[in-house]
Amino acid sequence: MPDTNSHMKNLSVIDKSSNKNLLRWRLLKDSLARYGVVAGGMGVILAVVMIFFYLLYVVFPLFLPATTELVSEYDTPGKTLGKTVLLDMEEQNEVAVRFTDTGKAVFFLVDTGKMVSIQSVAVPEGMAITSFSQGSPINQGAVIYGLSDGRAIIVKHAYKVTYPDNKRLITPYLEYPLGEQPLVVDESGAALDKIAVQVGDNSTTVIAKTAGSPGGVGKIHLTGFEKEQSLFADEAALQRTDAAINLPVEGVEDILIDKEGRNLYLVSSNGRLAYYDVSDKSAPALKQAQSVVEAGQKITSVSFLNGDLSMLIGDSSGLVTQWGMVRDEMNRLTMEKIRAFKVSDKAVVQIKAEQRRKGFVTVDADGRFGIYHTTAEKQLIEERGVGALAAVAISPRANGLLMQSNDERVNFWRVDNRHPEVSFKSLWGKVWYESYPTPDYIWQSSAATNDFEPKYSLIPLVFGTLKAAFYAMLVAMPLALMGAIYTAYFMTPLMRQYVKPTIEIMGALPTVILGFLAGLWLAPFIEEHLAGVFSFILLMPFIVMLFAYAWHHLPKEFLEKVPEGWDAAILIPVIMLGSWFAFAVSVPLESWIFHGSLREWFNNELGIGYDQRNAMVVGIAMGFAVIPTIFSIAEDAIFSVPKHLTVGSLALGATPWQTMSKVVLLTASPGIFSAVMIGFGRAVGETMIVLMATGNTPVMDISIFQGMRTLAANIAVEMPESEVDSTHYRVLFLAALVLFSFTFVFNTLAEVIRQRLREKYSSL
């Protein structure tokens, strides 16, 4: 017995020790699980916060103000060689040129003013220079001198870049695109008072005004030069075309011609602007003449905006207005005032447009200068110069300003103005873009030429995002929620074991596959059977209701043979047959009611166009992708309602439907609401389906037959092609930040509502 008692005691000690070890191990696992869950949750929060701040970090430079810095000041290089008629700089801001009224080109270093070379324009001896003009920046430095004998000479300042000893060396020189011999503009030999030029690869247009007798009539000469290359000649021959416009001598103060050489603008001293179509050089036609300044004001400066599609006009009141060619209701091109900038209380004496963006520099009579951007409609910089300015140059990259004052001093300013296109209005407001008839919301971020006006309105993308999500939820919500209610509450457990996993497996289907099927199969199918789709939507509810009515009138002996909860399985062949019937009957109905084609009827009778890849396709495809998410969460919420609530309700005499609507749905409402919100978030952020199943065009049209472009799809399409740190690149990150903020705010509000619903119905 002692041995037995001792053995039992030992076993008891071992059991206690084992229980303690098991308890310690269990507590350790609980602690590890608790800390693991906390660490995982904190990691997720940290990742989300880091994503937010990274997006903010990339976007923040868009809203930094532009700045200027005075780098150097020095005497005008070669100031004894004549008065400055043009200042210009090469792209690297290292070498500048000063053209003088004596036909000299003085090249000097931008930073120090040290002269590099002095070159003479090939002006014939004894000829006086009577006019000067600069060609469009697209002409790469072309200028023209008008002479006293009715001739003109075109010259370009160009730069050769070499790298001796691995150091950049810029060597300036002059070249003559049409030869060094002056070109005859006025055969009578009258002096050229005003002149303008546009130089192309194969054609050149010269516009010149000659003076007449006091009170008499002068002429505007239009001379076109076409290069014709012969197979047997080393140099191309020039074929010229001449025309003339008669007008009062005192009428014209400035002449401009666009880069295509098709539109001529004559600016009068009385504030009028005349527009001529000179595409046919032999027969110029006056298209429009109108006043472009307020009564009592004078035009003091005029310049083309980059691209030559619109014009900047400064007046004596300090106002700069932008005028552009737009089409009126009769589809005729007319000059319209697009916008205005109040830049000063003094007269605007100079306007210089940027060469690669829609910005410009203004200088007033007091020497104050400012930098503006037309699309953003904002002032970027305003600075006080060192005095009244005689000449201004803006570098090709718009990162430097060169200014010469009336007291023969030159100043070089460095400009930091990287993202002038962005403003609150350009992102979220209606903007009147060049060549558009009215202000509008437009997204068009790139084009093939530098004179393109970027359009960064986010409104079409936000609209497209909400439109796609709306139609997707319109399809997904009724099917998913009704299916969840039936599956969780009415369906037999055996059937539920097959239905719920099957629908949840649908959620694992890659969205790229859904988008592929939607774009290549569903979109053409709907286009071909549009009437059948509408017949299905309209007839299927009646077919199901008709079957339900007939079902309740079947003999009880037959109904009792169908197990309870398996009723839904009977509907499968009914829906299949009903679908076939709907599509079959749609063919004669479409021919009878719509005279052949429903799509053509929409277009002809209602003015509703049809794109093959449209919101209907997206709604069906994306709804199919969202259904498993909403169904699974809502079904779990409904199925998890305590049984004693439903049993108690039924025991008190409520019908199953009353119990469902008054007890189960209210109790499960927080979970159902979460399901809808999560599904909506999935629809808002979906990329591949929208990318492949729509035309991906950023149009604002609520029609179900038109496509759209969403924020997510736009980022996916354009981010690989955007230049790093460019405005386009950062605006795409801004779109991502907008999408992130939208989902964050929406989900936060949804969680607040869910918690309140939970508190309200927790007492049930």
Q: What is the CATH number of the domain that holds 654?
A: 1.10.3720
Q: What is the pLDDT of residue 236?
A: 64
- In the predicted structure, residue 707 carries a pLDDT above the cut 60: yes
Please answer whether residues 670 and 743 qualify as being in contact, where contact means their C-beta atoms are separated by less than 8 angstroms: no
Same domain? 512 vs 628: yes
Q: Among 171-180, 318-327, 739-748, whose mean pLDDT is lowest?
A: 739-748
For residue 138, give both structure tokens.
């697209």
Helix (H, G, I), strand (E, B) or coil at 240: strand
Same-domain check for residues 50 and 179: no
Say if 167 falls within a structural domain. Answer: yes
Note whether 670 and 551 are same-domain residues: yes
**The pLDDT of residue 9 is above 70:** no
Q: Work out the mean pLDDT of the chain and round it to a whole number.
A: 86
Q: For 310-334, what is each residue's pLDDT tens digit? A: 999 999 899 999 998 888 777 788 8
Q: How far apart are CA 631 and CA 637, in angstroms?
A: 10
Q: Band of the pLDDT at 738, cuts 50, 70, 90?
A: very high
pLDDT above 80 (res 6): no
Share of the chain above pLDDT 70, in %: 93
The answer to whether the pTM exceeds 0.85 is: yes
Does position 50 have pLDDT exceeding 90, yes or no?
yes
Q: Coil, strand, or helix at residue 188?
A: coil
98, part of any domain: no
Residue with token string 């994306």: 622
Determine the pLDDT at residue 567: 73
Q: How confident is the model at residue 339 (pLDDT cuts 50, 70, 90)?
A: very high
**Residues 268 and 260: beta-carbon distance below 8 Å:** no
The predicted structure's pLDDT at residue 430: 92
Q: Positive or negative, the Cα torsion across 492, 494, 495, 498? A: positive
Instruction: Indicate the burial class of 222 (C-beta count within 10 angstroms; 0-12, 13-18, 19 or more).
Output: buried
Across 132-138, average pLDDT = 82
Residue 235 banded pLDDT, cuts 50, 70, 90: low
Q: Please, which pLDDT band fits residue 597 given cuts at 50, 70 and 90?
A: confident
Please check whether residue 49 lies inside any domain of the structure. Answer: yes
What would the two tokens of residue 115 be? 């002269």
Q: What is the pLDDT of residues 560-595, one digit of tens each?
A: 777 776 777 888 888 899 999 988 888 888 888 887
pLDDT band, very low/low/confident/very high, at 667 (cuts 50, 70, 90): confident
* pLDDT value, residue 433: 92
Are 535 and 627 within one domain?
yes
Instruction: Count up the domains in the chain and report the number.
Output: 3
Whether 24 maps to a domain, the answer reads yes
- Banded pLDDT at 475 (limits 50, 70, 90): very high
Selection from 61, 50, 93 nearest residue 724 by Cα: 61
Nearest to 551 by CA among 527, 569, 532, 526: 569
Per residue in 628-644, pLDDT (tens digit) is 999 999 998 888 888 88
Q: Please give the average per-residue pLDDT across 176-188, as a whole number.
A: 87
Residues 156 and 43 in one domain: no
pLDDT score at 314 = 92
pLDDT at 274 over 60: yes
Helices of type H across 594-664: 598-601, 615-639, 643-651, 656-659
Residue 440 lies in a domain: no
Domain stop point among 31, 63, 95: 63
Are 163 and 239 within one domain? yes
Instruction: Answer for the pair 119, 107: CB distance below 8 angstroms, yes or no.
Output: yes
Question: Do 165 and 279 sit in the same domain of this protein?
Answer: yes
User: CA–CA distance from 469 to each of 120, 215, 609, 639 (Å)?
Assistant: 67, 71, 21, 27
> Is the residue at 114 inside a domain?
no
Query: 215 falls in which pLDDT band (50, 70, 90)?
Result: very low
Across 475-492, average pLDDT = 90
Tell me: pLDDT of 102 over 80. yes
**pLDDT tens sequence across 240-273:** 888 877 766 457 888 888 888 888 898 887 888 8
Residue 660 DSSP symbol = I
pLDDT at 227 over 80: no
Whether 371 shows a pLDDT value over 80: the answer reads yes
Q: Are residues 281 and 206 in the same domain?
A: yes
| 229-260 b/e (C-beta count within 10 Å ≥ 16 → b) | eeeeeeeeeeeeeebebebebebbbbbbbbbe
For residues 91 and 450, the answer to whether their CB atoms sit within 8 Å is no
Q: What pLDDT band is residue 471 in, cutting at 50, 70 and 90? A: very high
pLDDT at residue 642 in the model: 84
Position with higher pLDDT, 214 vs 527? 527
Which of 263, 291, 319 is where one domain is finished?
Answer: 291
47 and 195 in a common domain: no
Which position has the higher pLDDT, 385 or 440? 440
Q: Which of 193-207, 244-258, 364-378, 618-632 has the lowest mean pLDDT?
A: 244-258
- Whose tokens are 């516009």? That residue is 207
pLDDT at position 138 is 65
Write the burial class of residue 468 (CB in 10 Å: 0-12 exposed, 13-18 middle, 19+ buried): buried
Question: Can you tell me the mean pLDDT for 281-298?
Answer: 84
Statement: residue 286 has pLDDT above 90? no
* 184 in the same domain as 42: no
Domain identity same for 41 and 178: no
Whole-number pLDDT of residue 213: 43
Question: What distances in angstroms separate CA 748 from CA 97, 568, 672, 744, one per listed residue?
Answer: 60, 37, 16, 6
Whether 55 is covered by a domain: the verdict is yes
Confidence at residue 72, expressed as pLDDT on a 0 to 100 scale: 92
Q: What is the residue range of 689's domain?
A: 459-724
> Are 49 and 125 members of one domain?
no
Give residue 452's pLDDT: 84
